[in-house]
């Protein structure tokens, strides 16, 4: 199976939202993004997953779930994470995840295409090897 991969915006660290984070909060954000990219969750993850993240901490979570201040126009920045309940299960949504990352459907379609191309390439290679072997064995 093709390896999934994730995207990030170059110079995101220069944005006020990220400049307001501690190194642990930034590492926690990356752990969550990696989780979302790995499991193709479209930026959602269960709050219970936070327990498995190495940089999980009260201060880091607070920094990620609150606004870092005001934009130049005076409106507040949105938090990087929004906590909410989906049915009976508490979840976290990464702010604007789908604005900067491909959706689950797009990623799975791309991975399927890569798998298909690799299968065709393996079949061609196998046919070439068999033809080469036959050529050697033919007197």
Helix (H) or strand (E) holding 92: strand 89-94
pLDDT in tens, 76-119: 999 999 999 988 899 999 999 999 998 989 888 888 788 888 88
- Counting other chains too, the contacts that 109-116 makes at CB distance below 8 Å and 24 or more residues apart are 110/2, 111/1, 111/2, 111/4, 112/2, 114/2, 115/1, 115/2
Give tens-digit pLDDT for 22-53: 999 999 999 999 999 999 999 999 999 999 99
The whole model's pTM is what?
Answer: 0.78
């Amino acid at each position: 199976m093709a390896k999934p991969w994730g995207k990030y915006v170059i110079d995101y660290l220069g944005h006020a939202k990220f400049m307001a984070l501690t190194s642990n909060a930034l590492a926690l954000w990356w752990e969550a993004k990696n989780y979302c990219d790995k499991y193709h969750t479209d930026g959602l993850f269960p709050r219970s997953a936070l327990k498995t993240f190495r940089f999980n901490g009260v201060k880091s979570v607070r920094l990620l779930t609150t606004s870092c201040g005001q934009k130049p126009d005076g409106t507040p920045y949105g938090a990087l994470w929004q906590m909410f309940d989906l049915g009976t299960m508490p979840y976290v949504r990464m702010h604007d995840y789908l604005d900067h990352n491909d959706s689950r459907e797009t990623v799975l379609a791309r991975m399927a295409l890569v798998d298909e191309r690799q299968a065709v390439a393996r079949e061609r290679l196998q046919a070439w090897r068999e033809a080469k072997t036959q050529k050697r064995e033919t007197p």
